[in-house]
Homo-oligomer: A and B are copies of this chain.
Amino acid sequence: MGLEFKKGVRRMEHWLTKRAYLTPDNIAIELSNGETVTFAKLYEKACEFASKIYTVHQDGHVAMLSNNSIDMAVAFWACTYLNVPVVFLNTRLTAVEWQTQCEDADVKTVICSDQYKEDTQQLTLKAYAFSEIHSFRPTECTLITDMDLDLVCSMMFTSGTTGRAKPVIQTYNNHWSSAIASALNLGLMSNDKWLACLPLFHIGGLSILFKSVIYGMPVYLLERFDEEKVHNALMDRNVTIVSVVAVTCSRLLERLADGYYPSSFRCMLLGGGPAPKPLLEKAKEKHVPIVQTYGMTETCSQIATLNEADALRKLGSAGKPLFSASLQIQVNNTRAKPNQVGEIVVKGPMVTTGYYRREQANKESFQNGWFHTGDLGYLDEEGFLFVVDRRSDLIISGGENIYPAEVEEVLLSFEGVQEAGVTAVEDSKWGQVPVAYVVTVNEMVTANQLLAHCREKLASFKVPKQLYFRDQLPRNATNKLQRHRLRS
């Protein structure tokens, strides 16, 4: 009644239903082959898909295993109409990794693109390919009309220093708040078209799907980063915004050569670490508007951004926290002074409500309402964020996160390996690649054996590019491995 009726509960008409009502004939998704789908059609397809998976999805969560496609977007929205959380699996992982993640996230059913149907036979779970589901008969079922924004919408895995990947909860409110905060930062133009070449199973990709529906904006969807396709889309397909990582950004600028993007192209959103100065200078010279960002799965993408105007003046900065987000540097749980390095902590409606069923991790990560990122950084006098070190020893290789502890665990599981340390080396193509240092009990263990073992257990991008045998590894007084000293 009046005063009370809205406290605590946050409901909203289903975004896709609403969008299909507001602008039915506008393009929702456009592919490089010219195929498009309107919001009305996307809505219709999602509802139909929902009525077809209704009987198979059972209780529990649904895992999604697919590369970017219209089918994947349809299947995702279908799940939202059934209020079923979607657990996104990285297609580059091994079946062993998928199995573990499905178990950790209470997945009962897997939905996959036809390409991965065979691979899913290694799982103990029932998996359905898109084409199978399309052939099902629709079931009479009630699709939700209002979203409860506090419910879980999606989960994505992220590791930490502990090795085992953790499922990050992303609520509808997280996604909503992220889309809104981004719009307040980048603006919202009626001709906007956002190119997505990051996988939808990463937050950098998925967040664009939400923006599309909430803003009423077309997504130009590519299956993966393809230099030629992205370049052509920027030149000829009226794309106004593209999300990239440093490696792909640099390749695009090289491809651009002596040309210029059309003036309607207004934002190259660069995530995953600061851009090197030569890249920024080149971008400036070519009038490419680079907006650097800092974000992570736990913040549902961007939480801080550096606008083009400050890019060279604040070289290496990730900018300022978005409207509605708060960010502090803390040292021993107190706020640091300007320029003092400490842990980056964040707060805001786009920040995850926690890791799924990881009480200990949640206890460690959330303190006094602040989410502790594990990243080190400082704020300068003007409040610009500088990230000094991403989450202790995180390796970012071509936009993918590699957690050394996870690779070390696999190495240590091989009989005869006593110690293992993994660290990054610079790589001109991928930015960074992992290399491993191991101590074995005798000389019977070979590098080839170890790498074969890794390839069996790990996604290929996580397999060390080099492997070195050592007598001992650098450790500190408390015997903690000092990964930054491995290479010396």
Contact = CB atoms under 8 A, between A and B. Distances in A.
Contact of A22 (B187, B216, B320, B355): B320
Contacts of A150: 7
Contacts of A366: 1-2, 5
A12 to B, nearest CB: 5
Nearest to A187: B188
B7 A383 contact: no
Contact of A180 (B5, B180, B351): B180
Given A7-B8, A12-B349, A15-B323, 7 more contacts: A3-B362, A5-B353, A7-B150, A22-B320, A183-B183, A184-B215, A187-B189
Interface residues of A, number: 48
Contacts of A4: 353
A282 to B, nearest CB: 24
A427 to B, nearest CB: 35
B187 A2 contact: no
Nearest to A215: B184
A130 to B, nearest CB: 29
Q: Is the interface of A mostly helix, strand, loop or mixed?
A: mixed
A18 B188 contact: no
A320 B18 CA distance: 10
Given A1-B354, A183-B184, A323 B22 contact: yes
A104 to B, nearest CB: 15
Contacts of A18: 323
A251 interface: no
A345 to B, nearest CB: 13
A150 B5 CA distance: 12
A10 interface: yes
A92 to B, nearest CB: 28
Given A187-B189, A189-B187, A2 B320 contact: no
Given A1-B362, A2-B366, A169-B3, A21 B188 contact: no
Contacts of A352: 2
A447 B138 CA distance: 72
A418 interface: no
Contacts of A320: 21-22
Nearest to A348: B12
A13, A21, A150, A320: residue with the most chain B Cβ atoms closer than 10 Å: A13
A162 B362 CA distance: 53
A480 interface: no
Which 8 A-B residue pairs are closest in the complex by CB-CB distance?
A2-B354, A2-B362, A8-B8, A188-B188, A3-B354, A187-B188, A2-B366, A3-B353
Interface string A169-194: 10001000000100110011110000
A13 B326 contact: yes
Interface string A362-374: 1101100100000
Interface string A137-174: 00000000010001000000000000000000100010
A6 interface: yes
A214 interface: yes
A312 B15 CA distance: 28
Contacts of A362: 1-3
Of A2, A18, A189, which is in contact with the most chain B CB atoms at under 10 Å from its CB? Answer: A2
A349 B6 contact: yes
A482 interface: no
A472 interface: no
Nearest to A320: B22
A60 B353 CA distance: 36
A131 interface: no
17 contacts: A1-B366, A2-B352, A2-B353, A2-B354, A3-B354, A4-B353, A6-B349, A10-B349, A12-B324, A13-B326, A21-B320, A21-B383, A183-B183, A183-B188, A184-B214, A184-B215, A187-B189
